[in-house]
Amino acid sequence: MKKSFFILLIITLLCSCSKINLNDTIFIPDRNDYKLPAYTEMGYNSFGAQYERDYFLVSQKIVPCKILYKDENLHFALSGTIRDDQEMTLTFVFPSEKMNDYYDLLQLNDIFINTVDDECIIIMKQGNIETTLENCIGWIHFKRAQMLTIDDEANRVILSGFFALTFLENGFPVDISNGRFDVGITDKVFYAY
């Protein structure tokens, strides 16, 4: 607890002394597994999950999250790296109320989506190979959706939550667990048509 407080204090002091970019990624290690980011609701543009014995993690070089609303479905894509910095994107596609702008994402507050019951499709892209995951069982929980305002003006929607998946790959189960995300969404990473 003291160590977490000390790290948070240092980050706060550093941020107050220099200009920060709200689009950057801030990776604060989880105290139980330092390779994963801690769960936060601060808009740190971070995410991570265990992928079997490896990790699917946010990267400073890749925009961590993009969202597309199309054909009455929301496409929530987390992009990062796995296995020796190989790029990977995990996209959750699920039916959604109409969303015209990023602030409509506030509708996701405390929404739990089951990949089976809620007609959710999961698409995984590793390198140039894109695959719709077959027999995928899992969930994503948008635990909190909140508006960040700066000087009384809307700046971004912060989406925070958890996810887990199990799917078949080459006939055998693959497990993605302990997934968590904390991303800030602006009109630069949200698109609707």
Q: What is the distance between the alpha carbons of residues 140 and 25, in angstroms, rounded to a whole number? A: 21
Residue 142 token pair:
């948008």
Whether residue 53 is contained in a domain is answered as: yes
Whether residue 5 is contained in a domain is answered as: no
Amino acid identity, position 108: L
Measure the CA angle with vertex 92, ends 35 and 89; round to 5°: 50
Q: What is the distance between the alpha carbons of residues 75 and 122, in angstroms, rounded to a whole number? A: 9
Which residue is listed with tokens 């199309």?
A: 70
Would you say 46 and 59 are in contact if contact means Cβ atoms under 8 Å apart?
Answer: no
Whether residue 100 is contained in a domain is answered as: yes
Domain region containing 146: 24-192
pTM for the model stands at 0.89
pLDDT at 155 over 90: yes
Which residue is listed with tokens 């960040």?
A: 148
Residue among 153, 150, 183, 164 nearest 65 (CA): 183
Query: Domains in the chain: how many in total?
Result: 1
Would you say 25 and 60 are in contact if contact means Cβ atoms under 8 Å apart?
Answer: yes
Whether residue 2 is contained in a domain is answered as: no
Q: What would the pLDDT profile of 83-101 be if each residue is shown by its tens digit?
A: 878 999 999 999 999 999 9
Whether residue 169 is contained in a domain is answered as: yes
Q: What would the pLDDT profile of 106-141 be if each residue is shown by its tens digit?
A: 999 999 999 998 899 999 999 899 999 988 999 999
**Residue 6's pLDDT band (cuts 50, 70, 90):** very low
Q: What is the distance between the alpha carbons of residues 167 and 92, in angstroms, rounded to a whole number? A: 14
In order of 32, 40, 52, the CA distances from 144 in angstroms are: 22, 10, 27
Whether residue 128 is contained in a domain is answered as: yes
Buried b (16+ CB within 10 A) or exposed e, 27-59: bbebeeeeebbbbbebbbbbbbbbbeeebbbbb
Q: What is the distance between the alpha carbons of residues 86 and 2, in angstroms, rounded to a whole number? A: 35
